[in-house]
Amino acid sequence: MSGLTHEQALARIARAMIRGLDLREIAAVVVEQCVRSLTADAAVLWLADLARRELCLLADRGITPEVVDRLRVVSFDACRRAALAARTRRMQVIEDVRALASGDLLPDAYEYQGMHAVLVVPLTVQGQLVGVLSHGFCKPRHFSIAEQEFNMTAAGMFAITIQNARLYAEVRQTLQLHEEFMAAAAHELRTPLTVIKGKSQRALRNDAREAGARASFETILREADRMGDLANDLLIVQRLRPGHVTLHCARFDLGPLVRSVVDETAQTTTERRFRLHVPDGLPVDADRALMNTLISHLLEHAVRYTPVGGPIEVRAHADDDRGVVSVIRHGPSIPRERQSHIFEPFYEPIPPGEPGYVGAASLGLYLSKRIVEAHGGRIGLTAGPGDQETLWFSLPLA
């Protein structure tokens, strides 16, 4: 290969490597690029398991099924070139299998495939072994220093991409376990909460005669309702997992729903003043129950950070092919450096000890973002003049 051809091949490899983050797909691309860009006739890619000191077959190209079976797991201590590359972190270069000295390590299973030249390259990222890539050629071949360096450069690109895909898979699995735990916890919370509410309501009706006792039971009921809301939010998060979204959509007018939720909130929050500018004529195809939850959480946030007696303004309008709903409040400002994080779970917009801090945060805004994005919409926060803040979302109009 000429220098220009090397550069073109590396550019092709780089383009192929950014297509996705799925580990199996990346592995398939690696062996494809070995055959295409590195002009190999066959390729085998192993993933390194450092704890077990094993190489696990991840992808292959140009190898028969019988040979593949022999290569599925290769111990670091095996008498194979791939194992030697894993142990030493050094490339193994075999220009002609027939010229190997008697008793020398054969290039893995290529002797069964009729390969005459083999390169076995360790894939490392910052000195850590990620895997081993072995590619073979049907004819004897001299590998110049430039070609070996080219192969090492390509191997470095492969290693980084495989490592990123591996880390992405681990993070995705961790998040899935996290969300499954939250869903299980939410289900388990429901039973004791039901018992607590039932007993408290019965006590209020029949036993709590003194004002102090009644106030205590009313507090228990309020807190049980709050925990019930949190359990419901956790279950909704589970419904809206990426790749597992469950929506029950129907067409309805967003305007009347917004007004209804604001009216309900105003009846239970008499210490804030609500102003409405919400017309009809905003048809959407959406999950009505989730839209109700979304609007409730935006209003809850506004109430939480609006001083007693302060105004909360709710507006809605059509913007081209989208319906936009805005909740505008005045009160303690969220620090600029924290504004981009408010849709993270349990994130506190105003840190403890700062003016306007009102206690632990909820899942409300995190869940709101999940709901909006599940409907193909957008959500954001805009800081206005003075102490004004606007939380808004937009959905495609039907």
Residue pLDDT, tens place only, 254-311 = 999 999 999 998 888 878 889 999 999 999 999 999 999 999 999 988 888 888 888 9
Which stretch, 14-23, 104-113, 117-126, 331-340, has highest mean pLDDT? 117-126
CA 339 – CA 294 distance, rounded (Å)? 19
Q: What is the pLDDT of residue 107?
A: 55
Q: What is the pLDDT of residue 177?
A: 65
- What are the residues whose beta carbons fall under 8 Å from the beta carbon of 230, sequence distance 6 or more? 186, 189, 362, 363
Q: What is the pLDDT of residue 345?
A: 76
Percentage of the chain exceeding pLDDT 70? 80
- The length of the chain is 398
First to last CA, the chain: 57
Q: What angle do CA 267, 323, 283 make, to 5 degrees?
A: 85
Please tell me the pTM assigned to this model: 0.51
Burial state string for 308-326 with b = 16 or more CB within 10 A and e = fewer than 16: eebebbbbbbeeeebbbbb
Burial status of residue 286 (CB atoms within 10 A of its CB: 0-12, 13-18, 19 or more): buried
Question: What pLDDT band is residue 40 in, cutting at 50, 70 and 90?
Answer: confident
Question: What pLDDT band is residue 318 in, cutting at 50, 70 and 90?
Answer: very high
Residue found under tokens 């895997």: 131
Q: What is the pLDDT of residue 10?
A: 62
CA 122 – CA 162 distance, rounded (Å)? 13
Decide if 383 contacts 334 (C-beta within 8 A).
yes
Which stretch, 98-112, 204-218, 299-313, has highest mean pLDDT? 299-313
Question: What pLDDT band is residue 17 in, cutting at 50, 70 and 90?
Answer: low
Q: What is the pLDDT of residue 14?
A: 65
Q: What is the pLDDT of residue 62?
A: 86
**Once rounded to an integer, what is the mean pLDDT over residues 208-233?**
73
Domains plus CATH for the chain?
3-168 (3.30.450.40), 172-239 (1.10.287), 249-396 (3.30.565.10)
Q: What is the pLDDT of residue 149?
A: 84
Q: What is the pLDDT of residue 397?
A: 93
Question: What pLDDT band is residue 169 in, cutting at 50, 70 and 90?
Answer: confident
Q: What is the pLDDT of residue 270?
A: 79
Residue pLDDT, tens place only, 355-364 = 777 665 677 8
Q: What is the pLDDT of residue 105?
A: 57
- According to the 3-state scheme, what is the secondary structure of the chain? CCHHHHHHHHHHHHHHHCCCCCHHHHHHHHHHHHHHCCCCCEEEEEEEECCCCEEEEEEEECCCHHHHHHHCEEECCCCCHHHHHHHHCCCEEECCHHHCCCCCCCCCCHHHCCCCEEEEEEEEECCEEEEEEEEEECCCCCCCHHHHHHHHHHHHHHHHHHHHHHHHHHHHHHHHHHHHHHHHHHHHHHHHHHHHHHHHHHHHHHCCCCHHHHHHHHHHHHHHHHHHHHHHHHHHHHHCCCCCCCCCEEEEEHHHHHHHHHHHHHHHCCCCEEEEECCCCCEEEEEHHHHHHHHHHHHHHHHHCCCCCCEEEEEEEEECCEEEEEEEEECCCCCHHHHCCCCCCCCCCCCCCCCCCCCCCCCHHHHHHHHHHHCCCEEEEEECCCCEEEEEEEEECC
Burial status of residue 51 (CB atoms within 10 A of its CB: 0-12, 13-18, 19 or more): exposed
Nearest to 63 by CA among 89, 35, 96, 83: 35
Name the average pLDDT for the chain: 81
Residue pLDDT, tens place only, 179-210 = 666 666 666 667 777 777 777 777 777 776 77
Decide if 148 contacts 91 (C-beta within 8 A).
yes
